[in-house]
Amino acid sequence: MKFIIQRDKLIASVQDVMKAISTRTAIPILTGMKIEAKDHGIKLTGSDSDISIESYIPAESDGMVHVEEIEEGSIVLQARYFPDIVRKLPEKTVEIEADSNLKVTIRSGKAEFNLNGQDAEEYPQLPKLQTDDSFELQTDLLKNLIKQTVFAISTMETRPILTGVNLKLEGKQLKFTATDSHRLASREIPVKEANIEFSSIVVPGKSLNELYKILDDTDEPIEISVTNNQILFRTKHLYFLSRLLDGTYPETSRLIPDQSKTVLYVNTKDLLNTIDRASLLAKEDRNNVVRLTTKDGQTVEITSNSPEVGRATEEISAKSIEGEELKISFSSKYMLDALKAIEYDEVKIEFTGAMRPFIIRPVNNDSILQLILPVRTY
């Protein structure tokens, strides 16, 4: 294998790929980075077996030549040393050459490094996903979907399947759902062209968080395809693969109440700030509990009370309140998370009694749904 490459291109790719490589892994080869040279470009791969990132540098794009003198081949290099070497090389171009004894020579200007490589055969083979079975989304939209749901995943290991986000694509509707059994967040969006359908796959929350960090806020399309054990997110030059969680995701649609006794319309920011203030005193209490009480037709009172510290009371005026009077207690943390995820000015909160879960939605928009279970207080 041999090629000469523009150093800045290589640095950018190496940095992307390094995000997937972890130093403490059970499989020794995964401490390395795979470099694959093909006629049309160079591909770098990093993996910690849960997620894998591939970065592709085309030999030529937009009339610019990035990679020259390519001789095909592949090699695995120690990820501990390779990125630093590349970053500190003197010239603008880097020549990388591997011989049949897995010895790699990196040259740039007058600097020369000899590294011991590993056989690329030993590297895990990532599934070859069919590009026909995929659908497209805008990158920023996907990031939004992740942000609005992934916070609700469970961090407990008792029900491992809940540490993932449930993805569902049916009838050109894509739905993300996450729950930790005390609250639930879901978001649904229409997808333009989709020639696959899947009823329930579960992507680890950790992987989605990682993906969220890697993606840029652009409106460029990102292509998503699914096999039975991996999911692939593909942008122009970056492939992000994640393993899926094994198991059945609980049926969540029945949890969502379809009737309501009290409906509250309120400004999101006002409510958010009020609860945030009230929670200052509630923090001492382990559950972070705040209480919401409806007063006459227009105002809502938010109180928190922890006997050792003191109490906080604040009234805010709602847009309107319909239905029965209500007193309900809930975790302020869950409420804040939910309100932050809804990026609309006004929300509609539907209650069905003090002991039943309530749902929060933007006014006139059913695609985002946040559900919270109340706390029993006496």
Q: What span, in angstroms and rounded, lies between the C-alpha atoms of 354 and 361?
A: 18
Nearer to other proteins (CB atom), residue 16 or residue 48: 48
CB nearer to other proteins: pick between 124 and 310: 124
Residues in a beta bridge with 72: none
Residues 154-173 that bind other proteins (CB under 8 A): 157, 160-161, 163
Interaction mask 14-53, other proteins, x per CB under 8 A: ------------xxxxx------------------xx---
* 181 near other proteins (CB under 8 A): no
How many Cβ atoms sit within 10 Å of the Cβ of residue 302? 21
Beta strands in 268-345 (DSSP E): 289-295, 299-306, 310-317, 320-323, 327-331
Cα dihedral sign for 79, 80, 81, 84? positive
Do 305 and 245 meet the contact criterion of CB atoms below 8 Å apart?
Answer: no
Query: Could you say which DSSP state residue 64 is in?
Result: E
Site mask for other proteins (CB under 8 A), range 224-243, x = bound: ----xxx------------x
Closest distance between other proteins and the C-beta of residue 160, in Å? 4
122: contact with other proteins by CB under 8 A = yes
Q: What are phi and psi of 157, to 5 degrees?
A: -90, 0
When binding is defined by CB under 8 A, the residue of 11, 22, 97, 127 that contacts other proteins is 127
Distance (Å, whole) CA 248 – CA 116: 44
* Site for other proteins contains 246 (CB under 8 A): yes
Rounded to a whole number of angstroms, the minimum distance from the CB of residue 242 to other proteins is 9
Q: CB of 108: closest distance to other proteins in angstroms?
A: 30
Rounded CA Rg of the chain? 26
Which of 75, 244, 278, 312 binds other proteins (CB under 8 A)? It is 244
* Identity of the residue, 47 or 370, whose beta carbon is nearer to other proteins in the bound complex: 47
Tell me the C-alpha distance between 301 and 291, whole Å: 8
Compare residues 22 and 293 and give the one whose CB is closer to other proteins: 22
Concatenated DSSP letters of 225-241: EE-SSEEEEE-SSEEEE
Shortest distance, position 226 Cβ to other proteins, whole Å? 11
The secondary element (H helix, E strand) that includes residue 207 is helix 205-214
SS3 for 330-367 is EEHHHHHHHHHHCCCCEEEEEECCCCCCEEEEECCCCC
d(CA 139, CA 329): 38
Scanning 109-117, 125-133, 138-146, 312-320 for contacts with other proteins by CB under 8 A, the matching segment is 125-133
Query: Considering only residues 264-283, where is the footprint of other proteins by CB under 8 A?
Result: none
Question: Smallest distance, Å, CB 158 to other proteins?
Answer: 11
Residue 255 has φ and ψ, to the nearest 5°, of: -70, -25
157 vs 217 by CB, closer to other proteins: 157
Nearer to other proteins, 127 or 221 (CB): 127
Does residue 247 interact with other proteins by CB under 8 A?
yes
Q: Using CA of residue 108, residue 113, residue 114, residue 119, what is the dihedral sign?
A: negative
Could you tell me the smallest distance in angstroms from the CB atom of residue 257 to other proteins? 30
Window contacting other proteins (CB under 8 A); options: 87-95, 135-143, 153-161, 317-325: 153-161
CB-based contacts of 160: which residues, under 8 Å, 6+ apart? 245, 247
Site string for other proteins, 193-222 (x = CB under 8 A): -----------x------------------
Shortest reach from residue 21's CB to other proteins, in Å: 14
Candidates 90, 124, 190, 310; binder of other proteins (CB under 8 A) is 124
CA terminus-to-terminus distance, the chain: 72
Please say whether the beta carbons of 101 and 93 come within 8 A: no
Size, binding site for other proteins by CB under 8 A: 27
- Is 251 among the residues that bind other proteins (CB under 8 A)? no
Contact footprint for other proteins (CB under 8 A): 26-30, 49-50, 121-127, 157, 160-161, 163, 204, 228-230, 243-247
